[in-house]
Amino acid sequence: MRLLVTGGAGFTGSNFVRHVVEHTDHDVTVLDKLTYAGNTASLAGLPTGRVRFVQGDIADAEVVGRLTGDADAIVHYAAESHADNSLHDPRPFLDTNIIGTYTLLEAARRHGTRFHHISTDEVYGDLELDDPERFTETAPYNPSSPYSATKAGSDLLVRAWVRSFGVRATISHCSNNYGPYQHVEKFIPRQITNVIRGIRPRLYGAGRNVRDWIHADDHSSAVLTILENGEIGRTYLIGADGERSNKDVVELILSLMGEPVDAYDQVVDRAGHDLRYAIDSTRLRTELGWMPLYGDFEKGLAATIDWYRGHEEWWAPSKDATEAFYSGKGQ
Ligand code: NAD
Ligand code: TDX
């Protein structure tokens, strides 16, 4: 297949491109605007005969139409992805997540192109800490932030384009990813790079909030499985049973990095902060036979810490601006 991967210079998109190159003979065209979050260094070393890079905006109908005409499938990762940024300036989230997705869907409709939409568990809102239920494919939408509201809106567009126009689409909702090449604005890389720089980690509020962590490699293998074997029109949840409180994660990072486990600061909480995400991925496992490979979060986190220690040239250019943004908000 010839795949058009949007957002392929970002964290999870570049991981998927590397996964495709390693595990299939599909060719890839990456379409990425290279916002502050995109970095072609995340694609360095991939064979140029199989991976082509195009800088462009998914909301640009001309470039999207041209590239879609050459593709058998679109795998749509591109998004404004950070909840904190969406609380500060929501507009780019509407432009990219809603209008960008609409532009891609129209091209897929015109060309009859298979479409896989990367969504998030955040569209379902949050759960109580003691709720025995986890999110399933039938959970009601209840987004909290401008980020998750625009992701929810884009999901609904995909569903409408499947039903009304017969676009051959699938949707996946993954929980929180960790691993190499994640922007330093996000929780885990922010704390790791803080410790490397001698800055204390920053925990929002009391840190009781729970996230369901999955290694980015496992997200990629799940997306490839759905792309190749998923049922058109169907939604799949991707998760690896990795629930942990933020406080536990900060303490684990500090202890893996040889620092006292209480050497962090509690800072201003995120507005509308979702309490807990938890994914039930039974459908993906039973219907498509997918299994995560990273069972041991501590081991995966230790390898991620090693990666950030060894790749300062990749993250250093973003670090100061990221911390300046946070310090302006007391975070
Ligand atoms: P990221 O911020 O690291 O990367 C986003 C990429 O999209 C960047 O390379 C950026 O340049 C590009 N981009 C942004 N606007 C664009 C536009 N208008 N046109 C073309 N390219 C554009 O994000 P990520 O964490 O890799 O997330 C990617 C997708 O995965 C998002 O749709 C997100 O909702 C979803 N997701 C992420 C996670 C996670 O934990 N990271 C979990 C579940 C779902
Ligand atoms: O410095 C911090 N301190 C802190 O306590 C930061 C940056 C975050 N946090 C908390 C907020 C969250 O409870 O850590 C948790 C994780 O925060 P983020 O890394 O910002 O992720 P989250 O908001 O949970 O969303 C992530 O997973 C779902 C991705 O950013 C989304 O793109 C994806 O949809």
Reading the block at residue 24, the tokens are: 């299939």
Q: Which of 27, 32, 106, 122 is catalytic?
A: 122
Ligand 2 neighbours by CB, cut-off 6 Å: 81-83, 120, 122, 176, 186-187, 190, 202-204, 209, 211, 246, 270
Could you tell me the pTM of the whole model? Answer: 0.99
Cα Rg, the chain, nearest whole Å: 19
Is there a contact between 284 and 226 (Cβ–Cβ < 8 Å)? yes
Polymer length in residues for the chain? 331
pLDDT digit string, tens, across residues 126-175: 999 999 999 999 999 999 999 999 999 999 999 999 999 999 999 999 99
Q: Which amino acid is at 96?
A: T
CA of 177 to the centre of ligand 2 (A): 10
- Whether 70 is catalytic is no
pLDDT, tens digit, 9 for 90 and up, residues 206-243: 999 999 999 999 999 999 999 999 999 999 999 999 99
| pLDDT, block means (10 residues), the chain with 331 residues | 98 99 98 98 97 98 98 99 98 98 99 98 98 96 98 98 98 98 98 98 98 98 98 98 98 98 98 98 98 96 98 98 96 97
pLDDT of residue 316: 98
> Domain residues of the chain, as ranges?
2-177+213-238
Identify the pLDDT of residue 279: 98
Please name the CATH architecture into which domain 2-177+213-238 falls.
3-Layer(aba) Sandwich (3.40)
